[in-house]
Chains A and B, each alone.
Chain A
Amino acid sequence: MTLAQMPPAPVRTAAERLGSVSSGNALELRGVTKLFGALAAIADVTLTVRPGERRAVLGSNGAGKTTLFNCVTGDFLPTSGTIRLFGEDVTSFPAHERIRRGLRRTYQISLLFGGLSVADNVYLACRGVSRGRFSLLRPRLSDVLVARASELVEAVHLTAARDTLVANLSYGQQRQLEIALALAGAPRFILFDEPAAGLSPTERSELVSILTNLPGHIGFIIIEHDMDVALRVAESVTMMHNGRIFKEGTPQEIENDAEVQELYLGSGGHV
């Protein structure tokens, strides 16, 4: 199975069916602020991403990008502002509720289950968003989720390592697994947090191909310092600076923007 054959979005959620939802945006942030004591990690962020849109969020270290992700996934509760996921207000939802509504995320430093094998890791990811999480019965060999997990392992080229303990994987393999976990179930919107960090050039082009070949209905936001990767996979760019949104536009506009160049690019191509 290739990534393009991944199943499309499931039947609309109960909220959508009840018609309690209005806008068609995948992700909508309004006035989101997160304070740590007196420090505003992000301030008054308003952001809209359409379903299927590929957005890059760029900015120097400390610009607030990861904090933004943490607010969207539910690791932090924002100090103020609202977050809407596919029209539903998820601002106070715990992380697992947001995930069950189609949100996924990868982490800058891989968060994997070191004591379990690759196959188990991916199986858990598939389990997390379907029923039977508390089942005490072992899955049969013909179990649907076991099959899907295998397909996913294949899609990220980790089949040879499927029974290896994650703690024994190489760095690059762990990053591949990290992506696989985000693709499990039927994701509708993914947050990629610096997926290219630490990858070799070959691994980077493989990453770009995975990202560009994702099915059209899956939108994502990617945080990246490697402008090359970011501008190749994104169709729109948001620049952040000191916790605020500084500029938005297409990759070409951003690349050619004088202010952006002055602040970030200098003479090289890296932020």
Chain B
Amino acid sequence: MTYAASTSEPARPMLLERVPPHLWAIGFLLLAMPLFASNFVLFQIFGWTFILGMIGLSLMFLAGYGGMVSLIQMTVAALAGYMVAILGTSGVATISLGWPWWLHIPVAIFIAALFGTLVGALAVRTEGIYTIMITLAIASAFFYFARQNYGLFNGYTGFNNVLPPQLFGIDWRAPAPFYYLTLACAALAYGAVVYVARSPFGLALQGVRDNPRRMGALGFSVTAHRILAYTFASVIAAVGGILLVWQNAQVSPGTAGIPQVIDILVIAVVGGVRRPIGPFIGALIYVLLRVFSPDVLLAFGLSGERFKLLIGFGFLVIVFFSPDGVLGLWEKYRSRRAEARDPLRGGRP
């Protein structure tokens, strides 16, 4: 199963001409969403989708472009959220330092990215299959530590009342502003990943994915590239984590629990780790399942809590039949239609 994300680039017309019409339509729809969608849809469905999509994007960057399946992204996100609570304001006045937003947000991102880099440094010197194990072990260790530690992480309870700063007089946690905030961050993250994929760093990372031995033989330091990939991915995950904590207005060990860590992997794989849009598709599916499946399950006479079973089964089905996720299914469908239209084009897609 290859996780090679493809980045072949055609000729370069103008920006306006380059974006296909259906993307313009989607963009317009997204921008106009608050006009016709309910607060719940804006905040709980789209907000959550953009946030989880960003954290999943961080995983996709490492897996699809770097060939490293890392389970530390959710932990990095949660750590950033914790740092915002600890360095900024929260309901736990004994621990929170109350720094201003322009200080505690960048520092939180920096600390989370530093953590991600250190984990990367530990994980990249072993074979690929160990990466999942090592990152899972470190993620678990973080969960247990946060739960036991009361001096800094406030143990089991965590921090409540963690709210975004009131910039420009807007309550950024109100549905419409929050929607735009998460949309903007997600769009930026997506754009950054697409752009960087074809920068020297991104190309080199893909080279490392395809043939690390040859990259060394071309003069690249494979280890350095992998570690820096973790840094880049961690910045994205950190931003997602801060938004997540603002959305919930709280952070606790459960934010970084193993089920949450696995969920990010599910999101990225189900959506497809070969293209940056995959995690967002996976996130939307996940969010819709989480929000609506309890009702569906109840209709079938099962407890609403069995959504985990649904998600697990769905994930298994995808990994079995379409390892490239939903995007893979879509691409197979498109190439089969193309073959059907053009009888001369047979064989492999």
**Residues of A in contact with B (beta carbons under 8 Å apart):** 73-75, 94-96, 99-100, 104-105, 107, 111-117, 120-121, 123-125, 127-129, 132-139, 141, 163, 165, 181, 184-185
Contacts and interface: CB of A to CB of B under 8 A. Distances in A.
Given A128-B219, A129-B219, A120 B203 contact: yes
Nearest to A139: B200
B218 A115 contact: no
B1 to A, nearest CB: 13
A96 B6 contact: no
A115 B5 contact: yes
A86 B206 CA distance: 32
B325 interface: no
B199 A73 contact: no
Q: Which of B203, B204, B219, B224 has the most CB of A within 10 A?
A: B219
10 contacts: A99-B217, A100-B219, A104-B217, A105-B217, A115-B210, A116-B8, A121-B207, A124-B204, A129-B218, A133-B225
A134 B211 contact: no
Given A105-B217, A117-B8, A128-B218, A123 B203 contact: yes
A111 B214 contact: yes
A175 to B, nearest CB: 14
Contacts of A74: 216
Given A116-B206, A165-B8, A135 B217 contact: no
A95 B217 contact: yes
B345 interface: no
Given A124-B203, A133-B200, A99 B209 contact: no
A245 to B, nearest CB: 25
A96 B220 contact: yes
Given A96-B220, A96-B221, A112 B214 contact: yes
Given A163-B8, A165-B6, A114 B210 contact: yes
A73 B8 contact: no
B7 interface: yes
A72 to B, nearest CB: 11
Given A113-B214, A116-B207, A165-B6, A96 B201 contact: no
Interface of B: 2, 4-8, 10, 12, 195-196, 198-204, 206-207, 209-211, 213-222, 224-225, 228, 232
Contact of A94 (B12, B201, B210, B216): B216
A138 B219 contact: no
B211 A95 contact: no
B220 A128 contact: yes
B203 A116 contact: yes
A115 B214 CA distance: 14
Contacts of A100: 219
A97 B48 CA distance: 46
Nearest to A103: B217
B197 to A, nearest CB: 9
Nearest to A163: B8
B211 A113 contact: yes
- Interface class of chain A by DSSP: loop
B200 A113 contact: no
A121 B217 CA distance: 13
Nearest to A191: B217
A127 B210 contact: no
Contact of B211 (A111, A120, A139, A165): A111
A114 B219 contact: no
Contacts of B217: 73, 95-96, 99, 104-105, 111
B210 A136 contact: no
A163 B73 CA distance: 34
A109 B126 CA distance: 24
Nearest to B220: A128
A124 B204 CA distance: 7
B192 to A, nearest CB: 9
B125 to A, nearest CB: 12
A100 B220 CA distance: 9
Nearest to B348: A168
A168 to B, nearest CB: 10
Contact of A115 (B12, B196, B209, B213): B209
A123 B4 CA distance: 18
B219 A116 contact: no
Contact of B199 (A94, A115, A138, A141): A138
B323 to A, nearest CB: 15
A270 B4 CA distance: 40
A120 B218 CA distance: 13
Contacts of A132: 200
Contacts of B200: 127, 132-135, 139
B272 to A, nearest CB: 15
B201 A134 contact: yes
B210 A116 contact: yes
B331 to A, nearest CB: 15
Contacts of B201: 133-136
Contact of A133 (B2, B12, B196, B204): B204
Given A134-B224, A134-B228, 16 more contacts: A94-B216, A99-B219, A111-B214, A111-B217, A114-B210, A116-B203, A116-B207, A124-B215, A124-B218, A124-B220, A128-B218, A129-B218, A133-B221, A136-B199, A137-B199, A181-B214
A114 B207 contact: no
A184 B4 contact: no
Nearest to A120: B203
A185 B219 CA distance: 10
B204 to A, nearest CB: 6
B207 A113 contact: yes
A104 B12 CA distance: 33
A104 B219 CA distance: 9
Contacts of B232: 136
